Amino acid sequence: MANPPLEDIRSKIEKAARIADRKPSDIALIAVSKTRSIDEIRPLLEAGHRVFGENRVQEAMEKWPVLKAEYPDIQLHMIGQLQSNKAGEAVALFDYIHSLDRLSLVKALAKEMGRQDRQIPCFLQVNIGEESQKGGCDIKAVPEMLAQARTAGITVAGLMAVPPDNVNPVPYFALLAKLARDNGLDELSMGMSGDFDKAIKLGATHIRVGTALFGPRDTPAA
Ligand SMILES: *Cc1c(COP(=O)(O)O)cnc(C)c1O
């Protein structure tokens, strides 16, 4: 079934990819479904979309086991801050984690991946704007975090960041791309509803889009 917002985003992805001389198929669209009900999510599944993102383990546990049973090829991304005591549930439910940002979480996730015999590729989240209220490791801690994650047996796919609000995100996207290059990482999780086209031009491989697909959220969600 056709879904106009989804088609609109897809065509914007294609356009941005064309300008950047990239393949649209190299850019994963993560539909960010935090705060959305199962009924709001279903139209996207019926339109054939399978890649989704959530920012809270508890909320995801209430929605996705049901939907994953119905659509086994769903790919679920954890994009929010993750507490170490939720590592077990996160490893069981999610297929990617974008918010690996500290050593205690490296240890908790590695332990659960071992225990559950389930390897979940992770992105290192970087506090790219050096904002005290945001998650993510320090820019200069990236090489050490990467080494520690690998030593613990975690596959690090790339880097993730959320630039500061209300400023031009382009320099932050460029900095994240450079950090990834300098550390030999291929994947870049960056770009949201308002700026994913710019992120694609700077190399995003995973864009995280909520409101542009689902409409405004009525409850604020970090
Ligand atoms: C909510 C959220 C998004 C999506 O934001 P929109 O502006 O609704 O597209 C992307 N990334 C993270 C980490 C989020 O928490």
Determine contact, residues 183/146, Cβ cutoff 8 Å.
Answer: yes
The domain locations on the chain are 4-214
Q: For residue 209, which amino acid is it? A: V
CA-closest candidate to residue 94, choices 117, 119, 129:
119
pLDDT in tens, 75-96: 999 999 999 999 999 999 999 9
Q: What is the DSSP string of 48-79?
A: T--EEEES-HHHHHHHHHHHHHH-TT-EEEE-
Dihedral, CA of residue 160, residue 165, residue 171 and residue 172, to nearest 10 = -20
Name 68's Cβ contacts closer than 8 Å, sequence gap at least 6.
Answer: 74, 76
Judged against a pLDDT cut of 80, whether residue 165 lies above it is answered with: yes
| pTM (2 d.p.) | 0.97
Residue 126 CA neighbour count, 13 Å, CB half: 28
Q: How far apart (Å, rounded) are the C-alpha atoms in residues 102 and 149?
A: 9
Q: How far is the CA of 162 from the centre of ligand 1 (A)?
A: 9
Judged against a pLDDT cut of 60, whether residue 220 lies above it is answered with: no
Q: How far is the CA of 151 from the centre of ligand 1 (A)?
A: 30
Question: 141 by DSSP, 3-state: which?
Answer: helix
The residue contributing the CA closest to ligand 1 atom 11 is 208
CA-closest candidate to residue 87, choices 115, 50, 53:
115
Atom from ligand 1 closest to the CA of residue 98: 13
Inter-CA distances, 187 with 65, 104, 105, 156, 168, Å: 27, 23, 20, 9, 22
**Rounded to an integer, what is the distance from CA 217 to the centroid of its chain?**
18
* Mean pLDDT calculated for residue range 205-215: 97
* Mean pLDDT calculated for residue range 197-205: 98
> In percent, how much of the chain has pLDDT > 70?
98
pLDDT in tens, 108-155: 999 999 999 999 999 999 999 999 999 999 999 999 999 999 999 999
Q: How far is the CA of 184 from the centre of ligand 1 (A)?
A: 26
Angle at 149 between CA 143 and CA 153, to 5 degrees: 140
Q: Which of 7-16, 51-60, 64-73, 212-221 has the lowest mean pLDDT?
A: 212-221
The residue contributing the CA closest to ligand 1 atom 13 is 79
Q: How many CB atoms lie within 10 A of CB 71?
A: 15
Judged against a pLDDT cut of 70, whether residue 222 lies above it is answered with: no
The CATH number of 4-214 is: 3.20.20.10
Q: How far is the CA of 33 from the centre of ligand 1 (A)?
A: 9
